[in-house]
Homo-oligomer: A and B are copies of this chain.
């Protein structure tokens, strides 16, 4: 039979990032490709105890259909966490989702008509780009520097695109760059959104995993007109397999999100919501998060030292204060998909920059993850990567590098 797909579906079946992750998953390869948290830190025993309690105390309720907006205990605990992080909200602003990915999907479905503009950081989270494309968005990328999105460029993008629905930003330890937006720019972003009467989708999966520098208030903290939708998730602070995230939003939006959520999957896994609520009641999740922070701090430090030692001069890289990622920029007109292939020959992997760009790709870029490999693997892997970069520059790009340096 011949399938007639909707316009939302990509023409090609190719999944370059999936293919990269498949290659990177081979046991011989030291992979800095995925965005996987360190599984040895998952609180398996504490979650087991929480699950046992739920089955004993609330088994039948946890296994039954439940409310679309989520478990009230879990929403209460999230409200308290949000308040401690400077977000002024109550439980009626909180909705549970099947991970932040669903929060992004529901928000795009809710606001984006084909042709509407969504403004994003350039580069940005590749699966957010996939979602925006699937709803027919016109995606406009705004350049970043080490302080996050450039505000003059954002201003211009908003002015150039009067049909903008929202700005999508990852202010903390951005994926893929690891960069953090300054407090000043967060405030400016809200001012720009207020003036243009557009929304902001603040995606903050990594904010709690800060291992250096001082906390910065979320964009939502500066939100004077309740137009920022704040997203976060248990994926990086507890376990991604649970697929539980949450949104903080204007109360007026809750009825429509609730209907949309019912259409999407009725509600998120109720058993897991009960388990996480029980885990948070019985454990100090901040204690657990500080363990994650300590391990990631150390891994980032080891990766940074290895990069300094192994990468050739002229290669730039970000210095994240948290999160999971370092962004690398190799000088010259390097195709990092080719570099990836060379690296696989050296048994090391990363994600090339290309899929993170909404439009024009900056060549020579790629993303490194430091959360999922041991310190020893990081040392060996970065050495291999350095060798591969030298080989690539040496073979194809020596002249250009010399010109530039």
Contact = CB atoms under 8 A, between A and B. Distances in A.
Given A9-B110, A65-B241, 4 more contacts: A3-B199, A39-B60, A51-B51, A268-B269
Interface of A: 1-10, 13, 15, 18, 34, 36-37, 39-40, 42, 44-45, 47-48, 51-52, 55-56, 59-66, 98-99, 101-102, 105, 109-113, 116, 127, 130-131, 134-135, 165, 197, 199, 225-227, 235, 239-243, 250, 252-253, 255-256, 258-260, 262-272
Contacts of A258: 15, 18
Nearest to A163: B4
A139 to B, nearest CB: 14
A144 B271 CA distance: 37
B15 A44 contact: no
Contact of A101 (B109, B135, B266, B272): B266
B242 A269 contact: yes
Given A4-B111, A6-B109, A243 B270 contact: yes
Given A51-B51, A130-B259, A269-B269, A6 B111 contact: yes
A71 to B, nearest CB: 10
A113 B8 CA distance: 8
Contacts of A227: 1
A61 B44 CA distance: 10
Q: How many copies does the complex hold?
A: 2
A262 B130 contact: yes
29 contacts: A1-B197, A1-B250, A4-B111, A4-B165, A6-B111, A7-B113, A13-B256, A36-B65, A37-B64, A42-B64, A48-B51, A48-B55, A48-B59, A51-B52, A63-B239, A64-B239, A65-B235, A65-B241, A98-B243, A98-B268, A101-B265, A102-B265, A127-B263, A241-B269, A241-B270, A243-B265, A243-B269, A269-B272, A272-B272
Contacts of A47: 55, 59, 63
A10 B109 CA distance: 12
A265 B99 contact: yes
Closest 6 CB pairs of A and B: A241-B270, A44-B59, A63-B239, A48-B55, A39-B60, A13-B255
A65 B48 CA distance: 18
Given A15-B255, A65-B36, A272-B272, A265 B105 contact: yes
Contacts of A252: 3
